[in-house]
Structure formats: C-alpha cells, structure tokens
Amino acid sequence: MVCETDLARRLFPFCPLTFDEAVALALQRIRDRNVETRWSNASVDEEGESDDPAAMVQILSDVQRIHVRATPEIVYEVFSGIGGSNGWYYANGLWKIRGFIDKMIGGVGLRRGRRHPDDLVPGDALDFWRVESIVPGGALVLRAEMKVPGRAWLEFSVQPEGSGGSILTQVARFYPRGIWGLLYWYGVYPLHLLVFRGMARGIAAKAEAKR
C-alpha cells in the first residue's frame, strides 16, 4: 500500500516503524510462531455451491476405525498436526498430485500449508482444507476447499479404550452434486479407500511411536 497523506498519523497517537523495523518484527514473529493471521487464511469463493436437497443427492462416506496403542492425547496431537510440512501420514506423493491437479483447474492446491506446525484454530486454512471445528483433545473436522463436484469433509476423533489405548475414528464425508458428483466419488473410490485406510494406519503408527 502506498500512503499519499499523513492523515492517519495526525489523527491517531502512534509512532510508525521504519520499513526495516517492520520487516524485522514480522520475521521475528514468524520465528516465534506468533502469527495471528496469514494470507492463506483468506476464504475461498464458493460461488456456485448449493445446499439445495435436489442438487445434493445423498451423503457418501468412508469410515476407518482403528485401535491405537497410545493415549487419546497423543493420538489427538498426531491427527491435529496433519498437513503442511508434517504431511498426510500416507501417500504424500498422491496428495501432491491431487494438489497440482486442483491448482491446474483453478483451485487453491497445497500451497497454503499451515499457519502453525502444531496449533490449529477454527477457520485456519490447511493445504486445500479449512478447519471447521475442533474439540481440543478429542476431534477435528476439516472442510474441503479443493475443486470437487459437491462438498467434502474429513473428520477425526479419538476415544479412550481400556488399558491406556484409544480408538481412532476417521470419516470422509461427501455430498455429491448431481450425477457428476456420484461419478466422481465412485470413480476415485478405490484410490480414496487406499489413501484413507493408509492415512488412518499412518496416524496410528506415528502415535504409537510417540508413546
């Protein structure tokens, strides 16, 4: 932004930073992981999306439920750390290809990463997902912002099980838009089944390694 007047400086009691001071402060906040907002958290235009029951024909889902020999706190720490530089715990190459395809057709791709490597808050962008809701220590819901013929969510939750273990539940939900949405889901389902099953197992393995 180029400021053409000093009106703000005359109206408000503050001492502006020099350019060098502002850059140094911004870099220090990045190093301290004290960044409240970032460019990638801007909302994606959802023009054309519709919740009309006639357009969204039915809900489709893939459910993975797995026993993990780790506490719920550790399992939550692992799945809430998904994406960005941490990767997706399985088939990262396929996720990158999906991100590239999304970028080529006008989507956001995987370029956004994470605001913070460990912390998440509702509204955060996470690769081509957005954090929709969080139950600290218990659950995470991501809403897809990649280009798909419908709407998609990826949900993780964990419950304690006897002897210090946990049950991890991972659910991919998809509301297809018309026939193209159905063709998309069933066309890629074998690949999704491979990736989602591998991701759940990858989360479990990482959690067990952190015990």
Residue 72 has pLDDT above 60, yes or no: yes
Question: What percentage of the chain exceeds 90 in pLDDT?
Answer: 60
| Residue 29 clears pLDDT 80, i.e. is over it | no
What are the extents of the domains in the chain?
A: 56-209
Burial 43-75 (b: 16+ CB within 10 A, else e): ebeeeeeeeeeeebeeebebebeeebebbbebb
Query: For 42-46, 104-108, 188-192, which range has the lowest pLDDT when averaged over its residues?
Result: 42-46
**How many CA atoms lie within 13 Å of 35's alpha carbon, on the beta-carbon side?**
20
Q: What contacts 129, CB < 8 A, 6 or more positions away?
A: 83, 142, 143, 144, 145, 146, 154
Instruction: Please name the amino acid found at residue 2.
Output: V
The more confidently predicted of residues 38 and 74 is 74
Does 41 have pLDDT greater than 70? no
Ranked by mean pLDDT, the top range of 3-17, 44-58, 60-74 is: 60-74
Tokens matching residue 68: 């993990």
User: Residue 47: pLDDT above 90?
Assistant: no
According to CATH, the topology of domain 56-209 is Alpha-D-Glucose-1,6-Bisphosphate; Chain A, domain 4 (3.30.530)
User: Which residue did the predictor score with more confidence, 36 or 186?
Assistant: 186
Q: Is the model more confident about 109 or about 66?
A: 66
- Percent of the chain residues topping a pLDDT of 70: 87
How many helices (H) and strands (E) in the chain? 5, 6
